[in-house]
Copies of this chain bind each other. A is one copy, B any other.
Amino acid sequence: VRNIRWGIAGLGKISGRFVADLALVEGAMVVAVASRSLDRAKEFAQACGAERAYGSFAELAADPEVDAVYVGAPHTDHHPLTLLFLGHGKHVLCEKPLALDLAQVQEMVGLAKTKARFFMEALWTKFMPHFGALRQAVADGAIGELQSVQANFAFIPPFEPEKRVLNKALGGGALLDIGIYPIFLATTLLGRPANIHAQAVFGPTGVDTQCNMLLDFAQGQTAVLSCSLSYTSTLEAHIYGTQGYIKLHSPWHGQCPAISIFDDQRQLVKEMSFGTKGNGLYYEAQAVNDALQAGLLESSTMTHADSQLLMETMDRVREAAGIFYV
């Protein structure tokens, strides 16, 4: 099986972490990187051993010796860059959130199908060992019937209004950046919400600095979810069932060190611990590289439908909370 030749588009912090973890994957090599700044591209290429550095994304798209592109640019670039690379016949692994709304996601998925190229949202959490253990425990009935998913993701970023997180023009705000994690947890375990209530608080730069959500599902299950950029949360999550609950330890969305299963009297039944590997992006990188080597066009772990449901739910939350992007 030959190496998958990767290109990296957007050379910020997340791309650095992805490239470091891709180095742990057998059968993968980074051959080219691209940024709007050629200096930045050269610097990044040198650091990761990539042969070619480009000062534009179009050059990367035109590189015939690139099989797949990882899109790690700001949110607002996800949609245009994914279309660019798919359009040039590249496979694409695009950072979450895939886009700003469902219509953009549909267009991206449609082009991937038309071009017969692999396309996936880089929702790393779903590929991690603790998340697999969680899904298995739930499927095994370890906590009986699911009743409620409750999760929070909040941190206080540096106050840099021009940068992505607090910048409305770059798709900033708590919901799109980190609210996606609690929503992902709920839709993965419970499917499509029947109804959504949401509230938002807006900060000085106009982005949502708090967004809290209540979801309900057809079988009488609920989700109680929060995200914020104005406080720091525990980064724990709880999955409640009729016979007990599961606690995902902090940070639940990332390299979660353990999950604990409690019975309905709050007694610990079982605790599973997990090590770390690289920056935690290794697992999705390995899975995607394997899929590419196998000639697949879609991941069975993070499907197009999963991404569509996730973004549709984010759109509904946005509407319920009155959050708009410019």
- Interface residues of A, Cβ cutoff 8 Å to B: 147-148, 150, 152, 154, 156, 195, 197-199, 201, 209-210, 212-214, 216, 220-222, 224, 226, 228, 230-235, 238, 240-242, 244-245, 247, 250, 262-266
Contacts and interface: CB of A to CB of B under 8 A. Distances in A.
B148 A231 contact: yes
11 contacts: A148-B231, A150-B226, A197-B199, A198-B214, A199-B216, A201-B220, A228-B240, A231-B241, A231-B264, A232-B245, A234-B247
A222 B210 contact: yes
Contacts of A152: 150, 224
Contacts of A224: 152, 212, 224, 226
A147 B147 CA distance: 27
Query: In the assembly, how many copies of this chain are there?
Result: 2
Given A152-B224, A209-B220, A250-B266, 10 more contacts: A148-B212, A148-B226, A150-B226, A156-B242, A197-B199, A199-B214, A199-B216, A224-B226, A228-B240, A232-B263
B242 A147 contact: no
Contact of A197 (B198, B233, B250): B198
A165 to B, nearest CB: 15
A32 to B, nearest CB: 37
Given A156-B264, A199-B197, A264-B156, A233 B245 contact: yes
